[in-house]
Amino acid sequence: MVTNKSILNGVLLVNKSAGMTSHDVVQRIRKLIGQRRVGHTGTLDPMATGLLAVCLGSATKIARFVSDMDKTYEADIRLGRTSKTYDAEGVDANQPEQTVPHVSQSELELLLSEFVGVIRQKVPVFSAVRIGGKRLYKLARKGISTDIPEREIEIKRIEIMDFSPPHLRIQVSCTKGTYIRSLAHDIGRRLECGGYLADLERLNIGHLNVNDALTLEQIANHRDNGTLANHLLDYDDVLDYGAILIRDEFRQFVESGRQPRNTDILGIEGAFRPGDRILLKDDRGSVLAVGIAGVASDSISGSAQQNSLFNYVRVLN
């Protein structure tokens, strides 16, 4: 999506390398493309690799919706030792090795199933979460103890990829805000041998996949060749929502938040229920707004008059 030769607008899928913060990636892209309006949609720890969705230009309007998408990770958990940071950075080299218990595949699957579903998860002590305006990791470095907050998150799936003690490699699908570091720590504690996150790759953000992402080096090459715009995703490439298509003459009323009526509607894309996020599109398929469905997709009739078919959340045009 490019509306100006000098400004890039769209979502860029980046394959982040280890050792960089998400902010580092954003800063590099700002310098590469020469524009300030760039933002990521969900932090990856510096040690982690994989998919980072970066919004350019006007696409920063949908950053919150991308951030809300479920994530899928592949994690390598090192069992037999603990870490104060729950990852490799906080491991004490002098810490004695604990014996990893002998468990069968079925026993391990049963144990991991205890973490699947809606759970309360404590955030890591060394995290950027604020308590009383202070970052937790800064308090921890100063030795200041405080109550560690919990978050309600949902782990939708845990699949064992390999179990070769002391390493356990799993794939995890979860809602936003889930700390895989905390999950690794909790699994080690449940096995009574300790554990920490040794390696992490983000594979998916919603339906977006790391295999479609570019490295920073590839982004620089496409910038030099003038082909970077070909790799930017439009709103409807990213937001996997149903949609209401409206007549062209209604387009002028979208910015003021006017409610569409049945007579303004050309058609429906996909299926949705009341309360679902949906898109408002014009007759050319351009996304004009994100909103909340007031009725189910199969209840919108061309003859019956409905109120609140589409409740605006964000106008995008």
Report the C-alpha gap between 49 and 180 in whole angstroms: 13
Look at the block and give the residue holding tokens 């790759």.
201
Tell me if 281 sits within 8 A of 288, measured CB to CB: yes
Name the residue type at position 192. Answer: E
Q: Is 224 a catalytic residue?
A: no
Looking at the chain, the number of H-run helices and the number of E-run strands are 7, 16
Look at the block and give the residue holding tokens 């230009």.
57
Look at the block and give the residue holding tokens 């992402």.
213
Q: By C-alpha distance, which of 172, 173, 149, 170 is closest to 161?
A: 170
Report the C-alpha gap between 24 and 264 in whole angstroms: 45
Name the residue type at position 310. Answer: F
Q: Which of 24, 45, 87, 248 is catalytic?
A: 45
φ, ψ dihedrals at 238, nearest 5°: -100, -45
Q: Work out the angle between the directed axes of helices 105-113 and 180-190 (0-180°, nearest 10).
A: 120
Instruction: Report the SS3 class of residue 187.
Output: helix
Tell me which DSSP letter residue 41 carries.
Answer: S
What is the DSSP track for 34-50? Answer: T-S-EEESS---TT-EE
Catalytic residue ranges: 45
